[in-house]
């Protein structure tokens, strides 16, 4: 099987998604690294990157960009709900909003980048 640029885009997207899930769903204070950034900004940055990567992996048009952003926004909400059951984690609406706005911003940036780089 030949590895194509599409395979690489999906691999990178999957690895970043996995990293976001792991970091989001482990008990608070158990990660060996610390990122000196407000939690809401971490959500915004992580979901911006995911939105951007999903648009590139999907080679999305505007319709699929919106679907990707809404899907990632839903994922952010579900992560916050799951955090209710994880020690030293909590549900915060500001994190849901930061994840959704980040996903939308990253996805729109990805579409514009694809449009200009053709």
Q: What is the pLDDT of residues 44-93, one digit of tens each?
A: 999 999 999 999 999 888 899 999 999 999 999 999 999 999 999 999 99
User: Does 96 score more than 80 pLDDT?
Assistant: yes
110 Cβ neighbours under 8 A, 6+ residues apart:
51, 52, 53, 54, 55, 56, 60, 65
Q: Where are the domains of the chain?
A: 53-118
pTM of the model: 0.91
Position 86 scores a pLDDT of: 94
Position 118 scores a pLDDT of: 67
Mean pLDDT of 27-44: 82
Q: Which two tokens stand for residue 31?
A: 């990660």
User: Does 28 score more than 90 pLDDT?
Assistant: no
Q: How far is CA 103 from CA 5, 28, 74, 94, 118, in A?
A: 23, 23, 10, 14, 22
C-alpha closest to that of 86 among 22, 18, 15: 22
Position 38 scores a pLDDT of: 86
C-alpha span between 44 and 27 (Å, rounded): 20
Position 61 scores a pLDDT of: 87
């Amino acid at each position: 099987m030949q590895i194509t640029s599409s395979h690489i885009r999906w691999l990178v997207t999957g690895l970043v998604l996995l990293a976001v899930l792991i970091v989001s769903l482990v008990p608070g204070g158990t990660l060996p690294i610390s990122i000196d950034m407000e939690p809401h900004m971490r959500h915004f940055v992580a979901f911006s990157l995911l939105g951007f990567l999903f648009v590139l992996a999907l080679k999305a048009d505007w319709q699929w960009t919106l679907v990707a952003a809404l899907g990632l926004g839903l994922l952010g909400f579900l992560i916050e709900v799951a955090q209710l059951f994880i020690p030293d984690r909590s549900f915060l609406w500001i994190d849901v909003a930061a994840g959704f706005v980040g996903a939308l911003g990253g996805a729109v940036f990805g579409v514009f980048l694809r449009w200009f780089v053709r």
